[in-house]
Amino acid sequence: MTSDQHTEDKRAEMAEPQITEQQVVATYKILRSEVRQMGEKIAELEIETTEHDRVIQTLSELPKDRKAYRMVGGVLVERTVQEVLPAVTANRDGIAQVLAQLNESIKQKEASADEWQRKYNIQVQQ
């Protein structure tokens, strides 16, 4: 090893602050916890999407002028199928967008956790 390489290695070590084993493990646990929470939220939103799809399918088969009830801010509101169907569809589409964003975020968070695990050689016990 040349003295230039040795000097660069020393600078790299000094640039990265030394962290304790407890800090490494705690950070890893936090990353994994965030991944788990995102996974739970994704599952919850997928269920909501399925429910919205069922409602949309049911309403699509009904006459447009038939009464339909919709929960708005905790209040049950009477409308027609023609008024409710676009709102339910818009809600489902919004949930789908949030799901797409969460799926992207969870991939990034998993990659961060995996990188942390490799970087510090963390062994997971099962």
Tens-of-pLDDT digits for all 126 residues of the chain?
Answer: 555 555 555 554 555 578 899 999 999 999 999 999 999 999 999 999 999 999 999 999 999 999 999 999 999 999 999 999 999 999 999 999 999 999 999 999 999 999 999 999 999 887
- Letter string b/e over residues 12-22, b meaning 16 or more CB atoms within 10 A of that residue's CB: eeeeeeeeeee
Tokens of 94: 């919004």
In b/e form, how buried is each residue of 41-70, taking b as 16+ CB within 10 angstroms?
Answer: ebeebeeebeebeebeeebeeeeeeeebeb
Task: Please list the residues that pair with 75 across neighbouring strands.
Answer: 72
CATH code 1.10.287.370 for 21-119:
yes
Q: What is the pLDDT of residue 125?
A: 87
Going from N- to C-terminal start, the domains of the chain cover 21-119
pLDDT at site 9: 52
